[in-house]
Structure 1
Amino acid sequence: MGDELIEKAQELKTMIQNSAEYQKYDSCRHILKEDEELYRKVNEFRKKNFEFQTEGSAENGQADRLAEAYADVLGQKAVMEYMNAELILCRKLQEIYGLLVGDLEFDLDFLQ
């Protein structure tokens, strides 16, 4: 059964790679990477934004200030399309993950 699960997971990976959501994301990423400096700035923004979200510091307005600081970058069409495609793909992956593990029972009481 273990091998069958791995095979199905590999099939799912291929299906995701062939999905419209992933294809759009990959296309936008390739277009953005053509401008190395812009790609670097976008990743700099993404890293800082991720840190704010995971540290909880977005609550005190830092995320808004970050978006303002990167407004010239975030306002570019290639960046907007990339970030939107990434968001759509991430939401699809979250939905898939929820379906995969949503009904599985894990004992997570130790986290409380």
Structure 2
Amino acid sequence: MLDSHMDAAVEWFVNSIKNTETYRRYRYQLEKIKEDPEVYEKVNEFRRRNYEIQNTAQVDELFEKMEAFEREYEKFRENPLVNDFLRAELAFCRLMQEVDIAIADELDFE
């Protein structure tokens, strides 16, 4: 449970993230892709399979599995709606990773 000082700081921090161009672009692309439920469902399948491969494949077979996965979805990724969403999502994920690293670097947490 956060004390009032931390609660206010978290609220400010979340609002700061929401005000970034990266987050706004991600939200725009998310809403755009949701307008086509079939494409949105296929994107979610793509994301789910990508996650599973990256988190279950053995290191020595990961490259091969990812290459096959990318070939399988190559045509699908050519759809501008899909590509724009996945690029915006990746940019937002990278932003959040950078934030996480910056916080961890500033704290003495082992």
In the superposition, the TM-score normalised over structure 2's length comes to 0.86
Could you say which residue in structure 2 is the equivalent of 1:110?
none
SS at match of 2:95: helix
Alignment check: 8 A CA contact 1:28 1:82 kept? yes
Range moving further from structure 2, 65-74 or 44-53: 65-74
Task: State the AA in 2 paired with 1:71.
Answer: E
Residues of 1 paired with 2:94 and 2:12: CA distance? 20
Q: Is the 8 A contact 1:38 1:73 kept in 2?
A: no
Moved more, 83-92 or 98-107: 98-107
Structure 2 unmatched ranges of 5 or more = none
Alignment of 1:1-112 (within 5 A): 2-57=3-58, 59-107=62-110
Shift of 1:23: 0.4
What is the identity, as a one-letter code, of the residue corresponding to 2:90? L
For 1:88 and 1:79, the matched residues in 2 are separated by 14
Q: What code does the residue aligned with 1:17 have?
A: K
Percent identity over the alignment is 27
Q: CA deviation at 1:9?
A: 1.0
Write out the 4+ residue segments of structure 1 that deviate beyond 4 Å after TM superposition.
none
TM, length-normalised to structure 1: 0.85
CA shift digits 1:36-61 (9 cap, x unpaired): 11111111011010111112346251
Q: Secondary structure at the match of 2:106?
A: coil
Structure 1 residue runs without a partner (length 5+): 108-112
**CA RMSD in angstroms, aligned pairs only:** 1.8
Taking the aligned partners of 2:95 and 2:63, their CA distance within structure 1 comes to: 29
